[in-house]
Copies of this chain bind each other. A is one copy, B any other.
Amino acid sequence: MDIAPGFRYARQVQFAETDMAGIVHFSVFFRYMEEAEHALWRAAGLTIARPGETTGWPRVATTFDFKAPLRFQDEFVVEVRLGLATRRTLLYEFTLLRDDKVIGAGTVTTAFVSKLPGEPMKALDLPSDVVRRLRDACT
């Protein structure tokens, strides 16, 4: 079975991303996934956040499994694929690779919400054109 290659985002580890154990701090992998997500949005001709907007895409759940460490100046790729989209949530799946070695894999589940000043966030139906354009940009 073939797996679509997904959208690819290339990155190099920066010094400030390492910790005293000499490897990239585990919280930084969530930044890597998000950077790749936003690069995908740009590739789809979209932008995920604008100043003063009254809607947004907050995270509902996220996971990461660590297979091998990354170190200062390592070059790696984040592969992004779109997983299941329900009426109100969208799943992104990520794989981090250094050369052909899998560094780890993670997921981010997002919702689409209205956020009016002084009111709690309220879940909205996903805009189907956005999901379609992201899916197109992944392949």
A contacts, CB < 8 Å to B: 14-16, 18-23, 25-28, 30-31, 34-35, 38, 42, 47-49, 51-52, 56, 58-66, 69, 71-73, 115, 117-118, 121
Given contacts A15-B38, A49-B72, contact A62 B64 (CB under 8 A): yes
A25 to B118, CA, bound (A): 19
A66 to B52, CA, bound (A): 23
Given contacts A22-B51, A26-B62, A63-B61, contact A69 B121 (CB under 8 A): yes
Query: Copies per complex?
Result: 4
A73 to B61, CA, bound (A): 23
Contact partners of A15 in chain B: CB under 8 A:
19-20, 25, 34-35, 38, 48-49
